[in-house]
Structure formats: structure tokens, C-alpha cells
């Protein structure tokens, strides 16, 4: 039997190690499906094409190897695009295949007509249509090479009369199609980095996803410099949570100890990270950066020096060039504050914290405690990311995957399916918000169909929780009608799909429900109904945001009062984060008297007093102050309503 173009493509994919193709079958992909059927590659039929792209992206993120997805003509291919941004934004090699109509039908406004090369241009490093069998081997080779070299998406459009045609020849040079190798910065550049480090007294090393595979050399560098290791969320899983050098994360998925360390250090060494939140980085040029991608150097913070190089070989060379340091006072101070923060996290996750309410921190901690030592956690996007990212205590062998740069809601389950397909014996846990899970819950059927034993844990608060905080942070009351929603019984849904389902609404049943789900042989869902108004920890908050939060709460009080939904005092309840942010309301206006148009007046944020004593172990000459306070007041014809918000003072750079 002569080979078709589809046979050439599938043979090449099999030869470079592709194990699955995720997709939804259609008429333009019949020749591809026939070639897959005669190969060793597994076809994983999804319920939605976005799920196929997410599965391929998740697999590529975990392994660094090529993930493959496919969609048929027109709508089947367009629905791949949203999921492909996961691979594009998180720099994972994926090959996307689009079926298309026969060439003779192009330009005739035929049914399902699209222009795939235009559609995929933004998300792809490379996009081409195979227009003839003779062209196919070269274009297929170029696409795979582009996905590997650029660590992103390559896309091929496959007209059905071409993909099913007799091939003109086989692909050559397949041995060149492999992940990009590591490379070392030059010795001169490393010597310059060493000179900067030698001049600094207190050094902090920030580790991102580019540090994977370099844990041991980072530990050695930390010991040599007495430098705390901190991480972005993408780098959280590189070391075990209890490694004494591993001080925690930066930003909202982070700790106050790390924020203070970054703001007080003499030099921040950013290694394998392109962390985007500049408000958590120094602004005075105390940064050195090492990254494989030259284009990211210096773009997030004023940077004294940056070099292009892979982390492991560059840090190995750097270790021999830097002088050892002996002063541990800075390291010890960060460690002491890190322990206090960890104690706070433990209290927030304590199942005995509440008799009736499940706090979301407890869900993440129980998942972490019961998971296998080499489990893979797949995080969705939203407020649930903060619970999972802050309360999971990773072992150093586990992996944490998420929508780190794309920050797309609803991506966890699709990615988890692709990751689970790599190894069905490895535990894979998708931690989802209810809003995100609702978006692509159909992909649980994919897991059941293909015996992918993914465990799904849903934080059920019947709302898009992060949207509430985002609205309040700019002074707006949350639009409850658009944020809150009813949910189905997720446990019953799991059983209806052929999986296992567990519901838990009280803290006393949480360990049992998650334990039973983890012990299940196949896919399972845990529906954990959590406290809806829990505030996340706030390692650092801008003063303007404090005032905006106060103003948002007072506006919500008045809106609810006018709508007749109870008295003012019942409209807003006290909420507090153990990290120090407090939201409280006080009313002196009954609902019946809250008439007319109120006049809003927000007092300026003020320092209540100045402290000359050391705060959290930091020296008094760092000029830190006691908590800041903001008050918002609404004046009506019959009285006033006020909201007071307090928050810890931000760290200040030593004078």
C-alpha cells in the first residue's frame, strides 16, 4: 500500500516520540484518522476542540516534548485557538493540525470557509497550508522545528485532497527535531555577574520556571552566598516547601517575608524568570538577570546587567566565580519571618477553624497532605489559584502546572487530561474554581471515555471570586448579578458521566471526601462548598487600593439598601485576612432613611503613628510604620455610613 501524506505526517510524529493526538474527528481529518489507526499513536477524542488544545499544551508543559492537537474544517479549527494560547504564552511546543476543504472549493464561499493561516497567525510561531504532496515533507519538518526552537505553537492546514493524496516521499532529517539544548552564558558575562554579587552584602535569588532541573546548583549557590531562594508561582515546585533556603513566593501567591527580602536586599538575582508584576520588584536598578530568552532581559525592572544563558550551566560557572559570604544575619531575618508566615498559613488551613464552614485554604492543604509524593497539581485561574498556590506544600518531586502567563479561566481540566495521558499511573489533580470548571466541564467526559483517572477538586463558592476583589480594588462595588451564579450538583454530574462524585459541605467531612476520591480508580470530582467571602492574604497592598476597598464597600452598602435587600448593617459583614487586611463597616443610617443621592468622601490614607521599634525583625532605621488606615464615608440626609479599612504598612527601603 502506497503512503499518503497523512501517513508521512503520522510516521514522523511517531518517530519523534509523540504518544497521543488530541482532537475531534471530522470529514477533512478522515485520512489523518486512518493513518493514526494504523500507527502506535493513541487518538484521544475530546468533547470540545479547546479541550484538545489544552491537553496538548498541558502535556508539552509537563514534558517539554511536542504535544499535538487537531480540529476539522472551519469551526472545528477555530475552537482550537483559545486553548493554543496556553502553549503560546507558556512557551510549550505544540503542533496544531487543521483540516480544510478540498483546494478546488477555496474562494467560493463554501460551507465552513475560513482562512486558517490568518486565524492562527497571532497564536503561532509558524503557520502554513500544505498545498501539494510534494511540499508536505519539508513543511511538516519546518513546523515541528519551529515549535521546538521557539517553544510555542506551529500550525498546519491540511486540505482533505492533499492529506489523502499519495505522498511524494518520506521526511528526512527527523533526528534534528528535538527540544532546544541548553547553552551557557560567556565567561566574561558570568565574571561581570560575579563582580556585582561580590559587591553586594545581602543577595536574594529569584527562581522561575527556567530553573527546572537546576535545583541542586541553586541550593549550592544559596549556601555559598547565604542568599534566600524565592520563587515565582511557575517555579514553586522546583524545591520542597520545607527546604530551609526556599523562602516562598513573590506577589499575591507569596509571602510577606519574601516581599520584605526583595525590598531590603542589595541585589536581586533573577534566574529563569520573566515575572511580570513590577510592583513587587525593586525599582532602583538592583537587579541582575539570567534567562535563555534575550528579549526578556531588563523588561520587568530596572536592571544593572543581564545575560542570555540557560540556568544550570550558567549558575554552575557562576558558583566558581563568586566569593563565599559568611554573614547570615539577612538570611536569618528572612527565615524568622518566613516561619511566622507559615504559622499563619497553618492556622488559616486548620479544619477546626470553623465548625460549619469549609475555608478554601483547608481544601488546598488537605489536597496537598493527601496527594502522592510525585503528584501533578493543575491549577485553574481565579481566586482558587491563590488558595492552591499558597497552601499546597510541594514535595520537590511533585509538579505544579497552570495557566501561568495566559491566566485563562477554565483551563485546568483540559490540561490535566493531557498530562494524565502521559502516565495513567501518576496521580493528577485538577484544582478548579466553580466558574472555571463550568466552562469546560464536558472534558470530564473525555477523562471517563479514555480512562484518564484525573481527580478534580472544585472550590464551590457560586461566584467568580477574584472578580469581586478586582472590582473593589478600583473602588467599585462588585456587580453581583454578573459575578454570582447557581451551580449544578458536581458530584451527581460526575456519577452521571460515569465517574465518582463526592460532596462535602462541612470541615469534618473534608479529609474523608478527598481521601475517597484519591483512592478511586477512575476519574472523580470532589464538590467542596467553601466560605464565599474569604479574603486572600496580602503580602503587600498599595495605599490607593486600601482607600478604593473602603469606597467600594460603602457604595455596596448603599446599593443594597436602596434595592431593599435588608438594612445597611446586614449588607456588609466584617471580613478579615490573617495577613492583616481588615474590612469593617459601621452604620448609623437605617435603610428607610437612606434616601437621596449620597455624597462620597474618602479621607486620605494616613499613618496612625510612627514606630521606632523593630518590626518583624527588620531594623528600626528601615523607617517602617504601624498599619495604615483608610476611612470612607457616605453622607445622606439623615446621617452617615462609614467603612474603615486597615492594612499593614508596606516595607520601605533602608535609608
pLDDT of residue 120: 95
Asked if 490 and 400 sit in the same domain, the reply is yes
On whether both 139 and 283 belong to a single domain, the answer is: no
438 and 319 both lie in a single domain: no
- Of 529, 557, 572, the last residue of a domain is 529
Chunked in runs of 10, what are the mean pLDDT values of the chain (655 residues)? 90 97 92 95 97 98 97 90 97 96 73 82 96 95 97 96 90 93 96 98 97 97 98 97 96 94 97 94 94 96 96 97 97 97 96 94 98 98 95 97 94 98 98 96 98 98 85 83 92 98 97 98 97 84 77 78 52 41 39 34 35 42 40 44 48 46
Tell me: do 586 and 561 sit in the same domain: yes
Q: Which domain holds residue 398?
A: 349-529
CATH classification at residue 359: 3.40.50.970
The dihedrals phi and psi of 330, each to the nearest 5 degrees, come to: -65, -45
199 and 110 together in one domain? no
Give residue 534's pLDDT: 87
Which residues, including other chains, have CB under 8 Å from residue 18's CB and lie 6 or more apart?
A: 41, 65, 66, 68
* Grid coordinates of 16: 519523534
pLDDT of 569: 38
Considering the domain architecture, whether residues 472 and 501 belong to the same structural domain is answered as yes
Report the domain count for the chain: 4
Supply the pLDDT for residue 180. Answer: 92
Does some domain include residue 415?
Answer: yes
User: What do you get for the CA distance between the two ends of the chain, in Å?
Assistant: 79
Whether residue 537 is contained in a domain is answered as no
Q: Is residue 482 part of a domain?
A: yes
Calculated CA dihedral for residues 315, 250, 288, 313, nearest 10 degrees? 10
Residue 121 lies in a domain: yes
In the listed set 336, 363, 387, which residue is the last one of a domain according to the structure? 336
Residue at a domain's end among 120, 147, 176 = 176
Q: Are residues 306 and 402 in the same domain?
A: no
How far is the C-alpha of 389 from the C-alpha of 473, rounded, in Å? Answer: 21
**Residue 148 and residue 201 in one domain:** no
Together in a domain, 364 and 423: yes
Q: For residues 18 and 152, state if they share a domain.
A: yes
d(CA 430, CA 414) in angstroms, rounded, equals 9
- For residues 359, 364, 370, 372, the Cα torsion angle rounded to the nearest 10 degrees is 170
The pLDDT value given to residue 205 = 98
In a domain, residue 54? The reply is yes
Identify the DSSP state of 379. Answer: E
Alpha carbon dihedral 177, 182, 185, 186, in 10-degree steps, equals -70
Q: What pLDDT is attached to residue 342?
A: 96
Taken in order 250, 464, 516, 508, the sign of the CA dihedral is positive
Helix (H, G, I), strand (E, B), or coil: what is residue 265?
coil
Q: With left for phi above 0 and alpha for psi between -120 and 50, is residue 109 left, alpha or beta?
A: left
Task: Indicate whether 462 belongs to any domain.
Answer: yes
Asked whether residue 182 is domain-assigned, the answer is no
Query: What integer pLDDT is reported at residue 609 of this predicted model?
Result: 32
Q: Which residues, listed in sequence order, are joined to residue 158 by a DSSP beta bridge?
A: 99
Query: Which among 344, 273, 340 has a CA at the least distance from the CA of 536?
Result: 344
CA distance 363 to 507: 9
- Are 461 and 324 members of one domain? no
Residues 459 and 594 in one domain: no
In a domain, 77, yes or no: yes
Amino acid at each position: 500500500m502506497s503512503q499518503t501524506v497523512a501517513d508521512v505526517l503520522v510516521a514522523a510524529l511517531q518517530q519523534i516520540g509523540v504518544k497521543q493526538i488530541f482532537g475531534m474527528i471530522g470529514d477533512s481529518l478522515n485520512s489523518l484518522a486512518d493513518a493514526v489507526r494504523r500507527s502506535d499513536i493513541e487518538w484521544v477524542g475530546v468533547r470540545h476542540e479547546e479541550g484538545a488544545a489544552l491537553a496538548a499544551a498541558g502535556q508539552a508543559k509537563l514534558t517539554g516534548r511536542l504535544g499535538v492537537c487537531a480540529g476539522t474544517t472551519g469551526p472545528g479549527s477555530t475552537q482550537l485557538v483559545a486553548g493554543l494560547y496556553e502553549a503560546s504564552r507558556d512557551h510549550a511546543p505544540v503542533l496544531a493540525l487543521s483540516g480544510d476543504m478540498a483546494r478546488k472549493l477555496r474562494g467560493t464561499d463554501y460551507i465552513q470557509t475560513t482562512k486558517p493561516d490568518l486565524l492562527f497567525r497571532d497564536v503561532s510561531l509558524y503557520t502554513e497550508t500544505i498545498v501539494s504532496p510534494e511540499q508536505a515533507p519539508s513543511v511538516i519538518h519546518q513546523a515541528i522545528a519551529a515549535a521546538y526552537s521557539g517553544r510555542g505553537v506551529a500550525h498546519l492546514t491540511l486540505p482533505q485532497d492533499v492529506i489523502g493524496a499519495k505522498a511524494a516521499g518520506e521526511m528526512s532529517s527527523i533526528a534534528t527535531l528535538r527540544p532546544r539544548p541548553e547553552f551557557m552564558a560567556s565567561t566574561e558575562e558570568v565574571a561581570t555577574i560575579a563582580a556585582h554579587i561580590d559587591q553586594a552584602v545581602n543577595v536574594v535569588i529569584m527562581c522561575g520556571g527556567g530553573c527546572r532541573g537546576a535545583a541542586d546548583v541553586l541550593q549550592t549557590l544559596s549556601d555559598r552566598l547565604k542568599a534566600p531562594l524565592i520563587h515565582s508561582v511557575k517555579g514553586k515546585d522546583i524545591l520542597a516547601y520545607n527546604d530551609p533556603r526556599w523562602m516562598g513566593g513573590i506577589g499575591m501567591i507569596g509571602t510577606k517575608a519574601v516581599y520584605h527580602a526583595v525590598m531590603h536586599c542589595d541585589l536581586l538575582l533573577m534566574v529563569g524568570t520573566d515575572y511580570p508584576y513590577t510592583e513587587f520588584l525593586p525599582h532602583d536598578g538592583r537587579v541582575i538577570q539570567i534567562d535563555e530568552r534575550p528579549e526578556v532581559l531588563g523588561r520587568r525592572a530596572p536592571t544593572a546587567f543581564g545575560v542570555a544563558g540557560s540556568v544550570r550551566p550558567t549558575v554552575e560557572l557562576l558558583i566558581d566565580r563568586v566569593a563565599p559570604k559568611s554573614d547570615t544575619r539577612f538570611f536569618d531575618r528572612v527565615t524568622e519571618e518566613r516561619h511566622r508566615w507559615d504559622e499563619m498559613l497553618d492556622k488559616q488551613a486548620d479544619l477546626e477553624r470553623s465548625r460549619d464552614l469549609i475555608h478554601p485554604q483547608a481544601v488546598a492543604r488537605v489536597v496537598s497532605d493527601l496527594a502522592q509524593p510525585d503528584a501533578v497539581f493543575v491549577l485553574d485561574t481565579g481566586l482558587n489559584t491563590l488558595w492552591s498556590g499558597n497552601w499546597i506544600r510541594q514535595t520537590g518531586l511533585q509538579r505544579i502546572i497552570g495557566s501561568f502567563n495566559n491566566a485563562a479561566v477554565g483551563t485546568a481540566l483540559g490540561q490535566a487530561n493531557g498530562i494524565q495521558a502521559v502516565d495513567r499511573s501518576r496521580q493528577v489533580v485538577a484544582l478548579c474554581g466553580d466558574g472555571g470548571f463550568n466552562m469546560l466541564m464536558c472534558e470530564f467526559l473525555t477523562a471517563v471515555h479514555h480512562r484518564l483517572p484525573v481527580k478534580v477538586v472544585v472550590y464551590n463558592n457560586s461566584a467568580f471570586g477574584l472578580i469581586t476583589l478586582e472590582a473593589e480594588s478600583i473602588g467599585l462595588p462588585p456587580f453581583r448579578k454578573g459575578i454570582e451564579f447557581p451551580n449544578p450538583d458536581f458530584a451527581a454530574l460526575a456519577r452521571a458521566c460515569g465517574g465518582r462524585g463526592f460532596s462535602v459541605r462541612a470541615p469534618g467531612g473534608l479529609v474523608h471526601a478527598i481521601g475517597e476520591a484519591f483512592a478511586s480508580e477512575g476519574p472523580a470530582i470532589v464538590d467542596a462548598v467553601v466560605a464565599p467571602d474569604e479574603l486572600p492574604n496580602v503580602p503587600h497592598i498599595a495605599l490607593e487600593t486600601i482607600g478604593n476597598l473602603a469606597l467600594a464597600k460603602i457604595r455596596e452598602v448603599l446599593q443594597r439598601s436602596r434595592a431593599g435587600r435588608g438594612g445597611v448593617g446586614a449588607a456588609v459583614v466584617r471580613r478579615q485576612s490573617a495577613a492583616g487586611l481588615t474590612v469593617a463597616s459601621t452604620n448609623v443610617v437605617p435603610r428607610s432613611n437612606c434616601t437621596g443621592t449620597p455624597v462620597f468622601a474618602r479621607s486620605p490614607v494616613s499613618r496612625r503613628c510612627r514606630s521606632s521599634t523593630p518590626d518583624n525583625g527588620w531594623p528600626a532605621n528601615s523607617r517602617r510604620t504601624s498599619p495604615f488606615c483608610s476611612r470612607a464615608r457616605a453622607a445622606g440626609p439623615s446621617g452617615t455610613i462609614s467603612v474603615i479599612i486597615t492594612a499593614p504598612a508596606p516595607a520601605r527601603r533602608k535609608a
